């Protein structure tokens, strides 16, 4: 990210979050959602896309035999996981069991982000989903 893009993100993030249907009644964006977007932009967007759109052909193994980074928006499956599972994925990382390589394709962030920062990212991701998807994910989190 160059030196101009981060302030730009701060400027347009609230508008994007609103467009994504942020769960707020007052119209203001919760601080942790804004923080989550900033962290997402810094650590996640390079692989998962600036709008959470994921890699092209994310649901097929790439030339290295690895599953590419999936979308986090409404076209992906992030909304199918509980808060606890999403937290674990971000903290501990993930390797698809059928990848042909041994590395963690999703790196672990537990030594880079605080628990609060991970939770903020999850809260931001929720703004990328539909209302139905948010409801589904809320149920999963309560199971």
Partner 1 sequence: MRAMVSRLNSAVSGLFLFAFVAVMPTLVQAQSVNEGQSVRALTTDSSGALLVLRQSGLFALDSQNTTEIPLPPSDSGAQPRSMAKGADGSLYLSGPGLGIWRYDEASKRWQSLNDTLPDLGVTAIAAHATQAKTLYAYLGASGMFRSRNGGAEWVKVDSGPREPVQAFLHSDMPGSMESGWLFAGTTRGVARSMDCFCFWGDAGELRGTVSAIDYDPSAPENVYAVIEGQLHHSSDGGETWAGLEIPQAVTALTFSPSEGLVVGTKNGELLSRNASGEWVPVYE
Contact positions vs partner 1 (CB under 8 A): 59-60, 70, 77, 80-81, 85, 89, 94, 97-98, 143
The residue among 43 and 94 lying less far from partner 1, judged by its C-beta, is 94
The residue among 7 and 97 lying less far from partner 1, judged by its C-beta, is 97
CA 60 to each of CA 55, 81, 91: distance values in angstroms, whole numbers, following the listed order: 10, 20, 24
Q: Counting Cβ atoms within 10 Å, is residue 25 exposed (0-12), middle (13-18) or buried (19+)? A: exposed
Which letter does DSSP use for residue 44 in this model? I
CB of 140 to partner 1, least distance (A): 8
Q: From CA 20, how far away is CA 111, in angstroms rounded? A: 30
CB of 92 to partner 1, least distance (A): 11
Q: From CA 107, how far away is CA 104, in angstroms rounded? A: 6
CB of 15 to partner 1, least distance (A): 30
The residue among 1 and 65 lying less far from partner 1, judged by its C-beta, is 65
The residue among 25 and 131 lying less far from partner 1, judged by its C-beta, is 131
């Amino acid at each position: 990210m160059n030196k101009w893009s981060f302030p730009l993100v701060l400027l347009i993030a609230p508008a994007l979050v609103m467009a994504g249907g942020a769960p707020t009644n007052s119209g203001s964006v919760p601080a942790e959602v804004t923080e989550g977007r900033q962290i997402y932009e810094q650590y996640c967007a390079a692989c998962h896309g600036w709008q959470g759109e994921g890699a092209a052909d994310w649901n097929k193994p790439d030339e290295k035999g690895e599953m590419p980074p999936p979308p986090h928006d409404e076209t992906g499956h992030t909304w199918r996981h509980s808060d606890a599972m999403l937290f674990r994925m971000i903290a501990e990382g993930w390797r698809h069991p059928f990848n042909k390589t041994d590395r963690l394709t999703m790196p672990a962030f537990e030594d880079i982000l605080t628990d609060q920062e991970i939770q903020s990212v999850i809260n931001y991701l929720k703004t990328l989903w539909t209302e139905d998807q948010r409801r589904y994910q809320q149920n999963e989190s309560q199971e």
